[in-house]
Structure 1
Amino acid sequence: MHNRLGISILLLLWGIVSTGHAVIIDRILAKVNDEIITLSQVQEEGYPLLARLQAEFSGKELEARRQQIEEKMLQQLIDRVLQLQQARKLGLSVSEAEVDAALQDILRRNNLTEEELKSILQEEDIDFLDYRQRIEEQLLLAQLLNREVRSKVHVDEEEVEEYYRTHLDQFGSPTRFRIRHILFLVPPQASNGEVEATRKKAIAVLQRIQAGEDFSQLARQYSQDPSAANGGDLGYLKKGEMLPAFEQALAHMRVGEVRGPIRTPYGFHLIRLEEKQGGEEHPPDAVRREIEKILINQKMQKRYQKWMEELRSEAYIEIIR
């Protein structure tokens, strides 16, 4: 049995869906230069989402969400019409051989014969010639986007190096810290005198640690955190998993070092760095292609948005409510 789910996804990717035999009272929703967009086109474009909404919502909630989806689909259709108009204006075209090659690729990737694909399309009330036409449109749009967007995006060496320097945490294993702490609680409504007394108590314990007493034993004796039973051991933590004040202190600590008192919303802490793992950085050359892809995608998104704004500003677009 062939992968029908894959084919269904394929139909959605090509923007080809069937609305079954539902009756749609059609009307014009928009004019884009000399072309129109109808309600039936919008509903066909958003059919999978609209069908899901009807199964999940009802009443005013359904109507509100339906309007949101139809508005989104309308804007997408306006963009597609503008792009196809621009492709024709530039004289771009797709040959029958290119459509045939794309169709054969679809058949090969889905392990189908052409007759089997036609049978599936027929079950979905989709005409095979319409399917070929949409493949042709997609190939034409790919040409256009390559010409107007991708070909105008470039990334130089300095940009790659700058991205690497400012995103080092993306290109290596995250640093993990195994730490112990001793917490001296400060109640939220504590007076200044109580806060100072607690701080002095923390300093006194710190001095005992510096004099050679065992940190874990003192944690069991003095810490007011549940980790006291384990000698203050908090296990392995990464950035984002601990208090910001801990992160700031650990950034400058060596293994075996003790620091404090560190003030947090909970009170005063003494912390000891037991172990440090990870943090190895991949050299720039090893991640250059990955960085280039990231930067190209970012620039392409910006270029695409700017290009579409230009197309829209030069076009006659009328939304008919």
Structure 2
Amino acid sequence: MPRSSVIKSVVVVLSVMALFGCTGKKESEVKKESTPSGPVLAEVGSAKITVDSFNKELENLPPYLKPMTETADGKKEMLETMIIRELILQEAAKDGIENSPAVKEKLEELKKRLVVEAYLKKKVEEQAKVSDEELKKFYEENKAKFKTGDEVKASHILVKSEQEAKDVLAQLKSGGNFEDLAKKLSTDGAASKGGDLGWFSKGSMIPEFEKVAFAMKEGQVSGIVKTKFGFHVIKLTGKRAAGERSFEDVKEQIKSSMLPGKQQEVFQKLKDDLKKSGKYTIKEDVLKGLGGAASAEPAAKADTKSLPAQPPAPAATEQKK
């Protein structure tokens, strides 16, 4: 995706956060931001946007968007979005919007949701642990799943035009550092990691890119490689032959696959414990009045306690170039 399009995505995300209160911050945190601290980036009427408040906005961005705010243009877009949000808030204050019954009702609903989500997150993170013994047991019982073909590890610098790619090669030949140039010039999400794409096997990348990468020697830098994404300069940083991956190689992968199950167990136990210890009464006649199709499960087994859905499992990352 072109950098300009990604920056627009950043602006849209931040704008939605600003307008609909989706940052997930508590009221106390919002109040802290209104008190200036650190160098001032911008003054909006009587309000000040500081470096600290700006950095907090960066922290709240989804991980896949954060690299796009590392450029000067990206940071300026972020700051301008914060300014627009502050201007909207000031205009809304003049109209007394924050004191309207509708807003107060929504804020109360949001507060309850945030408290419940924070509590569940705390409990799940505290209790959903996967021990090394469990990881090793899974590895020993599933070794066949960790056999792979030949793999390579590569970094790349992706630019929009062939001339830009030629300029990159010229800088590398003049002694430029590949990782530094990737952070400065590359237009994809791997830029923040010095262009590092990690390990991948055949079939993981598009054919033009993969063909060149697998033909290179470790430490070698390619010429210009054209794909539908743009123009790449590739550096091969590792090679390993087909075989069974060691436990240390796949430990985090196993953990990621086992953790959602652990989280579900913790969440289910939490629900069961609350239902046993909590005091509540269900008005069956009122419930029946709501209608709905009869359940195939016995009523005694139905989960009638009003609780939010289970916490989402950690998102898996996938690299495609």
TM-score for the superposition, normalised by structure 2: 0.29
Structure 1 or 2, whichever has the larger Rg, is 1
Q: Which has the higher contact order (CA 8 A, sep 6+)?
A: 1
TM-score for the superposition, normalised by structure 1: 0.29
